[in-house]
Structure formats: structure tokens, C-alpha cells
Structure 1
Amino acid sequence: MTQSNANQRGPMGKRAANFGGGRSVEKAKDFKGTMLKLLTYVGQHKIAVFLGVAFAMCSVIFNIVGPKVLGQVTTKLYEGLVAKVSGTGSVDFDWIGRTLLILLGLYLASSACNLIQGWLMTGVTQRICYRMRRQIAEKIAVVPMSYFNGHSKGDVLSRITNDVDTLGQSLNQSITQLITSVTQVIGVLVMMLSISLPLTGVTVLTLPAAAIIMVVMIHFSQPYFREQQQVLGAVNGIIEEDFAGQNVIQVFDRADAAVAEFDEKNDRLFISGWRSQFLSGVMMPLMGLVGNMGYVGVVVVGAQLALTGSATPGDIQSFIQYVRNFTQPVQQLGNVSNTLQSMAAATERVFEFLEAPEEQQAVEAQVPAVRDGRVEFSHVRFGYTPDKTIIHDFTCAAEPGQTVAIVGPTGAGKTTLIKLLQRFYDIDGGSLKVDGVDVRDWDRAELRSQFAMVLQDTWLFSGTIRENIRYGRPDASDAEVEAAARAARCDHFIHTLAGGYDFEINEEGTNLSQGQRQLVTIARAFLADRPALILDEATSNVDTRTEELIQRAMDALMQGRTSFVIAHRLSTIRNANVILVLRDGDIVEKGTHEELLAKGGFYAELYNSQFEEA
């Protein structure tokens, strides 16, 4: 998959995602579509959402009634004081006391409803985040390898962590605020109309100004919210890359270059974050200004109405509270719009990954009845990109039990053949069959279960040595794990470690030497005991003596199994049944070790050059 945005190389030479540039900022591609997709997630919790919305509305209603009741208390107290001063009556404190208790009950009920809706909505949003993270984790296992050629690991991690967190926090705030704000605007409007139509008209006049401010701020801030999420993914990619390769950065004195590249991305993150937050922050003061203008209008008109007797002091006091209650949700709606922008940008990135192309399973996936490891390449043609073919016309057959060695200079296509064999990529032409069935017709999982792999780049996870070896066959017993370790010649060094097989390997296995890590992965392949083997420079990181011991074990392991061996040390493949010599994606020579040496061709040149260099 290619991206429209250019990619840059980081200080480690890897591809680092580069999103946008300068002021050329991209808006959310499909705000409405993204929100509709998100609603399908919310809809799966409709009962909890419905109850949360109901309790939120009840909380607002109880709260809205309060100012009206308080206004009646104010009027009653004012009239009682006036009557007392004139000697015609007194203040009815009993009625005022009962009414204030009712008012207290309303506010307590409002708080209780608000607490319940918060509990319900938090549960909904966290379940949605949990589901999305799980879907992303499952998606990683089914996206084609080509996807990761155009996306840095840090960017994918950012979608799992930052974007999902932003989505969860924003969703929890925005749904509740949206419902309560709309309910409060409608409820307060009704209460204001019940008090005074002229005063309501003055307040409503402020709405167009608030709407204009909100639309303008959304228009200018939305692009920066999206860029902020994108550049954050790029920053995470650089951090992940530089952390993993810190030793190489230090050796080649590239720390300043690494910091400079990080600073460039960090500056863009600062600019986009500052602009988005500043523009969203400006909205609230402007909305407050509009609200204060409404206050002034209500005070002026209310004073005139009070002088003419058209409104009581309690009505004016209630209305002033309602003006605050009216402008506050309008301001909250503006805040919700900012939250929705941030949520839309994050959600869109999550859905972009969830909707990425997946590895295609055959319509009627096949699993051969006889699985003995026969492999046939017939006129295979392949390129990672349409404009650059790497494998031009590759034909080869590996019979069950044969060892096929693949040699050639760097970039000849050796590792690419292995990736095609496991269908990490699909061929562009020709056919590739395993046990007589085209790999495109195989069940993917079953096809890959045919092979055990040992690669030059070791992969170990945090856990014990026993657990890392057992990864090859989870149901293996401890005795089988230890037998595989002995076969791989790593039992001895394991017993020298604290805890032996229960020694804890740290992240990326850095508390083991490179050779020890390689031996553990070889033991894993022994334990897997599969019909076919793929050995890609499996002994490249061990010393000569250990290599010789491992080679003996490999020879025993490869008996009766189809084995593909990629090697640069040509001395390790002398016993291969057939050696394929690749150059620029084509087989230029084919034969046994002795036959190829006798020809005195390219293989002989490669073989002799190794001893000359030594």
C-alpha cells in the first residue's frame, strides 16, 4: 500500500511516517461518515445509553426548576418584608422553609441523576474502547505485510493507545454534554417564556452571534485537530525507532541528527497542538462575552419591566439565573464541537486501520489430505510494487525430504521467495504449489503451520526461556521443551543462567547474547516439528564452533523434511540436495555443491571469495 504523503528515512534508515507538511493541512475526510460508524458501536449499548440519557435529562430538568422555585421564594420574602414595613402583614417563614426544603430535594435529585448517568456512560465508553483495542489487535494479525511497508510501527501503536484514549475521553464527555446542553437550552427557554416574553426575546437575540462564533471556530480549528493526531503518530514512530536503535545511533554519532529529526516533528506537533487548542480556547471567552451582553440586555429591560410592574423581583432574579443557565449550555455546545473534532480525528484514524485491506482467504480454502512438504515454483513473477519486479521467472521443485539451499548476492530475491512461500505476499504471475495445491487456495493458517522458521533477526518476548521455546508448540511438555533445547545445543548455557529454564528474558531479549537468542529460536523450531523448515541465515549470529554443532543438529532435523536454507556462509550448505544460485531474481545456476564448483561459474566465484576474504 502506498501513501500519498511522502515518507522520510529516519536516522536508522527505516521508513518514518511523514504526514502533511507546513501549512498544507488536511481536514477530516468524512466527519459525518465517521460519526455514523461510531454510532454503530454506541448502538450496541443502547439500553445503557438510553438510561444514561434519561438520567441526564432528569438531572437537567430538576436543576432547571430550581431557579423558578427560588424566584418564588424571593418574591414571597420581598412581599412579606414590604408588608411588614407597612404594618399590613409579616414574612411567612414556614412557607419559605418548606419551599427551600423542596428546592434542596430538587438539587439532590439532580446530583443523584447526574452521578448515575456518569456511571452508565463511563461504562459504555470504556467497553467501546475495550472492543476497539481488541479489534485493532486482531486486525494486526490479518493485515498484509505490505501495509507495514507504508506505516511506521509507532503510528500503528499511536492508533491503539493515543487515538483510542482520545476517543474514549471525548465520547464520555461529548454524549453527556450534548444531551444535557440541548435539554437545558430547551428547558430553560420554556421556563423563560413562562416568566417574560420580552426578556426571553432579549436573550434569544444573542444566539445568532454565538452560532457564528461556533461555526467560524470549528472551520479554522478542525484541520489542526486532525494534523495533531497524525503528527503524534509520526512522533511515536520516531521515538520507537530511535529507542530500538539507540546503540547504532551512538556508534555512528548520529544523536544530533536523531534529535534534529525529532525536533522537526515535535515542532509541527507543537504548532498544530497550539493552534487547535488556542482556537478552541478562544471560543469560550467569546461565548462568555456574548453571554455577558445578554446579561446587560436582561438587566436593562428587566429594570424597565419592574418599574412598570410587569415583572416581580423574583421573576428578575430567576430570569438572571436562567440567562446563565441558557448561555452556559450554548458555551458547552461550543466546547462539545471542539471535543467532537478531536474525537472525529482520532476515530477516523482508528477506522482507517480497522478498514485496511486484509489478507484474502480462499473462497473454498483447501487442506491437502497428504502433507509431505512438496513445493513447486513454476515461472513465478513478483514485485513489491507494480513498477519494480524482483522475481522475474523462477521455476524450481523441492521434493519431500530434500534440502534446497538458496544463495546469491544481497537483493537477489532470496528472502522474498520465503515470504511468497508462506503467502505473506501473493505472486504476480506463475504458480506456487505446496503439496500440489496453489498457495492461494490453501487455508492461510494451515499453510503457515506447514513450516517452522528460524530467521536471522531473532524474536523473543518477555517471559521465561521455557515459555519462549514452548511458543513453537504450546501443548509441549517440559520434557519436550528441554529435549528441543538439547537438540539445539542451548541446554548447556541455559543451565548457567539464574533459574535455568525459568530465567526471565526481558523485552527484546537484551539480557541474552545475540548467539544465545538465536539458539533459543532454533530450539523453538525443533519443538515445532513441522513438515517443512525455513532457515534464513539461521546460524549467522553464532560462533564457528557452535555453528558446527548446530549444523549437525540441523542435518538431523532436516531428515525427511523439505527444507529451504538461505545462507551467505556457503560452507554450511555443502550437503544440500540442490543449490539455487540467484542473481537479480533469476536462477543463474543450479546443482549440488560439487557440481557448481566444478562449473567454475558464479557460485564458485562466491564460494572462493569467502575464503579469499578470510
Structure 2
Amino acid sequence: MDTNEKSGNVIDWQVLKRLFSFMMPYKGKFTTLLALTSLVAILGPARPYLIQVTLDKYVAHGDYNGLVRMTAIIIGLLLVQTAVTYSHTYLSGWLGQTMIRDIRIKLYKHLLNLRLKFFDNTPIGRLVTRNVSDVETLADVFSQGVAAMVTDILQLVIIFCIMLYTDWRLTLVCLSTLPIMIICTYIFKEKVKKSFNNVRNAVAALNSFVQEHLTGMNVVQIFNKEDREYNKFAKINEGHRDANLRSVLYYSIYFPVAEVISASGLALLVWYGAEGVIDERISVGVMVSFIMYISMFFRPIRMIGDRFNTLQMGVVSASRIFKLLDNTDNIPDDGDLAVKDFKGLVEFENVHFAYNEPEYVLKNISFTAQPGQTLALVGATGAGKSSVINLLTRFYDIQKGKISIDGHDVRKYALHDLRRHIGVVLQDVFLFSDTIRGNITLGNPDITDEQVRRAAELVGANRFIERMPDGYDHPVMERGANLSVGQRQLISFVRAMVYDPKIIILDEATSSVDTETEEMIQEAINRLMHGRTAIVIAHRLGTIQNADRIIVLDKGEIKESGGHEELLRLDGYYSRLHRMQYKETL
């Protein structure tokens, strides 16, 4: 996605049509809104006309009873107009907010199913902008854009027709300034459109910068980059301010100019109309109604440029959102194989995989992990160990070869079923702003408190959890900031175990904890391995010495395979790693 996306010169009607497809579930209310729009457009010009009739037919002839009747009618019209305007404003707002709710839900659900590769290549701040700011802009399309523009245009047509019918000469005189108003409105629309686009890009840049640097605040502070990052933020923020100030400048120029043009039309009306009243060519009622008409006529013209920009910016935001919704880079979930008795037999057959072809990070990988067997993967950073895990859980799909569980290709399983039977504990633990219990169950109502406690006791996490002020209901700050690294790791281990998975994956799961905690986890692992397939990635070779099989990876290829003692006797890659860790001499 390009941060500096342009707004274009005209409205993309295909995007607008697609946007209005979200209105279909509410077409009854939308039809009602259209009816209310017509009523608002009709009721506004009706009042000056009634005042004209009152002055010319009743006041001019001293008809007091007629005056009372017309006054009652005008008051009744005002009450009806108030009710209709309220209903129109509320319904347009309701439709706008309901539709953006539906769009935001659809967008977020779509994001949940995209491949991890998409998130690897897309700044999170930009996605936040799409899901929050851009979606929010769409509300204005309905509440201040389309509905308001239709009302304004209808009202302009009705007023113009009434004025022409009443006195065409007077109409031409008072609307002689209209071409100047149209030119000024067009210039204003173009200037504000450009400034709005700059504001949107500035907001996206701010979101991306703030999200990235708050997440990496420890790096900023460790390397004493506070002043430098502050200056960067100040520069981006200044750009945001300048973009907004430019739009404010255009507004501050346009509206006074528009007011002067409108007043000039009124002045011409008074000049020509007063002479007509004196010569009795124009009635007082017509003169008064025209003063009201010209005010009502120029007001929507002053607003129409702003409303058009609102509509256009909404369409630009919609096109960005639809571009994201049209991204089909998701994991195909068309498997329908039912999991009846998941045993945990894992097989990799001649697997080739690349995050970006043709740069393969795994080349011709083949191995088998029997049910209940512990398989360890070792190797230098970048050897491809974590990629094996990403493929087994289908975070990514392979280019060549086959990965199967219990003899079936993993792509034949429904993703939900596949991942429900695989427990994963990663080195970088992510905890949400929730309670300890919420981070363990992740909101799954089928997991009971007893299952949570049993899993915690099995791992040994209950010792620190029960010492917390609120126990399992103790609040966890974002990313577990109020917990130690070891406590976060233990919670993630409980989170994996509570689902009673048949396959356990430990990706450097003990590398960030102290020796005591590591021994506690290792003890729990040893108890949990029975009846489960375990795939362990570890840099500390001491934690995998009891593995049934150890696979040594280097540059995406299997270099050695066997048990701990067997690999030591080979005196190869694994043996060298072992000696380096234990500081043995060659």
C-alpha cells in the first residue's frame, strides 16, 4: 500500500456503487431516508411562499382572520419541518454508523484470515488507519455527503423553479452573481480536496510512526535515541498541522467571499425590488419571499463544494478499504476432513519452501515424527527451524512437497481443527490486555476454570498465579508488561496445554527464562510428552538431549539426524555446536 495515495479528479462511481451495496440490508430505511430527503427539500421553500401569500392576500387587504389562519398554517409547517429534519438527520446518521459498523467488522474479519506474509510486508499503523480513520470517514458520506447533497440539489431546483414562476426578471437580477459563486466554489473544492488528501496521508504517517516506536520503545531508550525520535515525530506532526492549516485557510477565505457574493445578490434584489415595489410592479409579499429564497438558495451552494469533497474523500477511503478487502493473500481453508482420532503422526516429504520465491529457506526437507515421539530441531539462526513450525501450523503454505498429519495432507484439514490439536509456545510471548484467565482461555467459553487450574498446576504456573492479588483474575497489562519474562512464558505454556493438544511445539520456549524456571518447565514437559508428539526448537542443547530424534538444519537443509549420543559420535555439525556451548576444545 502506498502511503501517499492520491484522491483523483473525479468520483469513482464504481467504488460508490460498491459502497452502497452495504446499504442493501437496510433498503427499507434507505427508502424512508429518500422520502424524508424529498420532504425536507419541499418544506423549506414552502415557508417563504406561504409568507408571500399571507402578505399579499391577507395583510394587504386587512383580512385578520385569514392572517390568523395562515399564521397557524406556517407554525404547523415549522413543526412538521422540525420533525422531518430531525428524522432525516437521525436516520442518515443511523444508516451511516450502521454501515461503517458492518464494513469495519468485515474488514477486521478479513484481516484475521490474511497470511502472515501480508503482515510482514505491511506497516501495522497503516492497517490501523484503514480500519479506524478511513472507515470513520465513510460515515460522513451518508450523513454529510450523499443525503445532504441530494437535499441541497432538490431544494435548489425547487427554489429556482418557484422564483422563475413568481417573477423571472427579479430572479435573473438577484441570481446574477451565481456564476461568480459557482467559480469560487469550484476553486475551493479543488483546493480543499488536495488539502484533505494531504491530511489523510499525514494521519497514516502519524499512526505508523507512533505504533512502531511505542512498540519498540525499549530499543529507542537503550540506544539513547529519544531526542532523535522526538525530532522525527515533531516533523511528521508539523506536516500534519500544516496540512490541516491549509484546509482551514481555504475555509477562512471561501466562506467570507461566499457571504459577500450572497450579500451582493441580496443587494441587487433590494435595489431592483424596491424600485418595483414603489412602481407597484412587485408586491411586498414577493419582495419578502425573494429575500428568504435568495438566502436559502445561496446557503447550499456555499456548502456544496464542502459536501462534494466530503463525498470524494469518503470514496477515496472506500477505495483504500476495498483494495484491502480485495487482497486474496489468505490461507485457503477449503479442507473438510473431520478429525476423529488425532494421533499426531507428522511427516514432511521433500518439502521446499520460500517466503519470497525463488529464495528457498527450506530445501528438500524430509522427516517423520511418530506419535508420542520428541523431535528436536537445532541449527544456527536462519537455518529454517521456525519455518518448519510455520508450515506445520499452516501460517504459510509450501511450494513443493507434502506435509501430512496422520497420513493426510494438512491442507485437507479445516484450519480450525488443525490448529486446535496443535499447541504452540513461542519464544516471543504475546499477552493481551486481559486477566490471566482470559489470556489462558483466549475467551473460549468451553474451557472451564477446573481445566485452567489443572493445566496451571501441571506446568507449575499456579505457584505464582495464586500469589497474585486477584489470582487468575489478576489484570495483565498490554503485552504482559506487569509480569516477568518467566511468568509470561509460563502463562503461554498453560495456554497451550489447556487445549490438551496432540502435538506440542516449543519454539525456543525456554530461552528467555532463568535456570530455575527452565527446570520447572522442563519437568512439566517431560510429564506432558506422554501420548503427544513434541517438536522442540532449542539453542540450549542441554534441553534436548533426551529427545528421541534430533535434526540438524543448516541453510534450509538437513545436515544430520539421530539421537544425542549418536550425533556426538559422528563428530560433525551437532558435535561442534555441543562443544561450543560447553566450551570444550576441539
TM-score normalized by the length of structure 1: 0.88
- Equivalent in 12, 25, 31 of residue 44 of structure 1: 25
CA distance in 1: counterparts of 2:120 and 2:174, whole angstroms: 57
CA distance in 1: counterparts of 2:9 and 2:227, whole angstroms: 35
| Equivalence for 1:455 | 426
Q: CA deviation at 1:498?
A: 0.9
Q: Are the counterparts in 1 of residues 383 and 556 from structure 2 also a CA contact under 8 Å?
A: yes
CA distance in 2: counterparts of 1:95 and 1:30, whole angstroms: 51
CA distance in 2: counterparts of 1:489 and 1:465, whole angstroms: 15
1:563 to 2:544 alignment: no
- Counterpart residue identity of residue 46, structure 1: K
| Equivalence for 1:602 | 573
Q: CA deviation at 1:111?
A: 0.8
The worse-fitting range, judged by mean Cα deviation, of 49-58 and 363-372 is: 363-372
For residue 44 of structure 1, give the secondary structure of its aligned residue in structure 2. Answer: helix
- Counterpart residue identity of residue 28, structure 2: I
CA distance in 2: counterparts of 1:355 and 1:206, whole angstroms: 47
The worse-fitting range, judged by mean Cα deviation, of 504-513 and 400-409 is: 504-513
| Equivalence for 1:230 | 201
Residues 149-199 of structure 1 show CA distances to partners (whole Å, capped at 9, x for unaligned) of: 222222222222222222224421223311320221121112102210112
For residue 377 of structure 2, give the secondary structure of its aligned residue in structure 1. Answer: strand
Q: CA deviation at 1:520?
A: 1.1
Residues 35-69 of structure 1 show CA distances to partners (whole Å, capped at 9, x for unaligned) of: 11111112332221222232232233222111122
- Counterpart residue identity of residue 100, structure 2: C
Q: Are the counterparts in 2 of residues 466 and 481 from structure 1 also a CA contact under 8 Å?
A: yes
CA distance in 1: counterparts of 2:190 and 2:260, whole angstroms: 20
| Equivalence for 1:432 | 403
Q: Are the counterparts in 2 of residues 280 and 335 from structure 1 also a CA contact under 8 Å?
A: no
TM-score normalized by the length of structure 2: 0.92
| Equivalence for 2:508 | 537
- Counterpart residue identity of residue 133, structure 1: R
Residues 198-224 of structure 1 show CA distances to partners (whole Å, capped at 9, x for unaligned) of: 122335554444444444444444344
| Equivalence for 2:51 | 70
Matches within 5 A, 1:53-452: 53-75=34-56, 79=60, 91-279=62-250, 282-361=253-332, 363=334, 365-367=336-338, 370-452=341-423
Residues 249 and 29 (structure 1), Cα distance of their counterparts in 2 relative to 1, 3 Å cut: farther
Residues 574 and 325 (structure 1), Cα distance of their counterparts in 2 relative to 1, 3 Å cut: same
Residues 370-424 of structure 1 show CA distances to partners (whole Å, capped at 9, x for unaligned) of: 5322222222222222253222332222222221111111122211221111111
Q: Are the counterparts in 2 of residues 383 and 390 from structure 1 also a CA contact under 8 Å?
A: yes
Residues 571 and 29 (structure 1), Cα distance of their counterparts in 2 relative to 1, 3 Å cut: farther
CA distance in 1: counterparts of 2:353 and 2:10, whole angstroms: 33
Residues 411-454 of structure 1 show CA distances to partners (whole Å, capped at 9, x for unaligned) of: 22211221111111111222222222222333222222220011
Q: Are the counterparts in 2 of residues 284 and 334 from structure 1 also a CA contact under 8 Å?
A: no
Q: CA deviation at 1:147?
A: 1.5
Residues 498 and 613 (structure 1), Cα distance of their counterparts in 2 relative to 1, 3 Å cut: farther
The worse-fitting range, judged by mean Cα deviation, of 562-571 and 45-54 is: 45-54
- Counterpart residue identity of residue 40, structure 1: S
| Equivalence for 1:469 | 440
The worse-fitting range, judged by mean Cα deviation, of 320-329 and 267-276 is: 267-276
Q: Are the counterparts in 1 of residues 334 and 414 from structure 2 also a CA contact under 8 Å?
A: no
CA distance in 2: counterparts of 1:97 and 1:476, whole angstroms: 74
Q: CA deviation at 1:358?
A: 4.7
CA distance in 1: counterparts of 2:104 and 2:443, whole angstroms: 26
The worse-fitting range, judged by mean Cα deviation, of 481-490 and 601-610 is: 601-610
Q: CA deviation at 1:360?
A: 4.2
- Equivalent in 3, 7, 12 of residue 31 of structure 1: 12
Q: CA deviation at 1:289?
A: 4.1
Residues 151 and 227 (structure 1), Cα distance of their counterparts in 2 relative to 1, 3 Å cut: farther
For residue 612 of structure 1, give the secondary structure of its aligned residue in structure 2. Answer: coil
Residues 496-537 of structure 1 show CA distances to partners (whole Å, capped at 9, x for unaligned) of: 111222322233222211111111111122211111111111
Q: Are the counterparts in 2 of residues 27 and 223 from structure 1 also a CA contact under 8 Å?
A: no
Residues 401 and 280 (structure 1), Cα distance of their counterparts in 2 relative to 1, 3 Å cut: farther
- Counterpart residue identity of residue 463, structure 1: D
| Equivalence for 2:487 | 516
Aligned residues: 585
Q: Are the counterparts in 1 of residues 96 and 141 from structure 2 also a CA contact under 8 Å?
A: no
Q: CA deviation at 1:26?
A: 5.8
Q: CA deviation at 1:270?
A: 2.8
Q: Are the counterparts in 2 of residues 472 and 527 from structure 1 also a CA contact under 8 Å?
A: no
Which residues of structure 1 form unaligned runs of 5+?
Answer: 6-18, 81-90
Residues 116 and 533 (structure 1), Cα distance of their counterparts in 2 relative to 1, 3 Å cut: same
Which residues of structure 2 form unaligned runs of 5+?
Answer: none
CA distance in 2: counterparts of 1:393 and 1:560, whole angstroms: 29
CA distance in 2: counterparts of 1:527 and 1:78, whole angstroms: 86
- Counterpart residue identity of residue 48, structure 1: K
Q: Are the counterparts in 2 of residues 473 and 527 from structure 1 also a CA contact under 8 Å?
A: no
- Counterpart residue identity of residue 57, structure 1: S
Q: CA deviation at 1:557?
A: 1.0
- Counterpart residue identity of residue 167, structure 1: L
For residue 412 of structure 2, give the secondary structure of its aligned residue in structure 1. Answer: coil
Q: CA deviation at 1:95?
A: 2.8
- Counterpart residue identity of residue 58, structure 1: L
CA distance in 2: counterparts of 1:243 and 1:536, whole angstroms: 26
The worse-fitting range, judged by mean Cα deviation, of 560-569 and 287-296 is: 287-296
Q: Are the counterparts in 1 of residues 189 and 306 from structure 2 also a CA contact under 8 Å?
A: no
- Counterpart residue identity of residue 406, structure 1: L
For residue 450 of structure 2, give the secondary structure of its aligned residue in structure 1. Answer: helix
CA distance in 1: counterparts of 2:154 and 2:336, whole angstroms: 54
- Counterpart residue identity of residue 181, structure 1: D
CA distance in 1: counterparts of 2:266 and 2:511, whole angstroms: 79
1:498 to 2:479 alignment: no
- Counterpart residue identity of residue 39, structure 1: F
CA distance in 2: counterparts of 1:223 and 1:394, whole angstroms: 54
CA distance in 1: counterparts of 2:458 and 2:23, whole angstroms: 54
CA distance in 1: counterparts of 2:73 and 2:106, whole angstroms: 50
Q: Are the counterparts in 2 of residues 403 and 562 from structure 1 also a CA contact under 8 Å?
A: yes
Identity of aligned residues (%): 32
Residues 447 and 557 (structure 1), Cα distance of their counterparts in 2 relative to 1, 3 Å cut: same
